[in-house]
Structure 1
C-alpha cells in the first residue's frame, strides 16, 4: 500500500487554517478588548469553536479523496 499525498497536503492545510484563523482573531483583539467582559467571552468561545467546522470535510478528503459523503 502506497501512502497518499493527500495526508501531508491536508496536514499542511490544517496548520495553515489554524495560523490564519489565529492571526485573524488576534488582529481583532484591540477592538474586542474594549467590549464588556461577557461579550468578549462569548466572542472568544465562538471563534475558538467555529474554526473546527472546515476540518470535517478536509479530514474526509484526506481519507477518501472526496469532499462530500457518497450518495446513499
Structure 2
C-alpha cells in the first residue's frame, strides 16, 4: 500500500476518461454505418460486445495507477 500520494491516479483517471471518450466517438461514428442494416437483435449483440471490450485492459491500468507496475 502507498504511504505517499502520487500523480499516477489523477493522470490515470484523466487518461482513462480521454481514452473512453475517443473509444466512444469512434464506435458512435463508424459502427452504425457498418451494422445499420442488420436486424436489431444482432445490433444489440454487437453493441453489448463493444460495451464490454473496453473493460479488458482496465485491470492492468488500475494496477498501474495503484502500484506503478503493469503486472
Normalising by structure 2, what TM-score? 0.86
> Which deviations, in whole Å up to 9, do the C-alpha atoms of 1:8-42 show, x marking residues without a partner?
11101110121011011101212222111111011
Aligned length: 68
Structure 1 unaligned segments of length 5 or more: list them: none
4+ long deviations beyond 3 Å: none
Normalising by structure 1, what TM-score? 0.85
Query: Which structure carries more relative contact order (alpha carbon 8 Å, separation 6+)?
Result: 2
Which of 21, 24, 29 aligns to 2:23? It is: 21
CA RMSD of aligned residues (A): 1.2
Residue 37 (1) aligns with residue 40 (2): yes
Secondary structure at 1:3's aligned position in 2?
A: coil
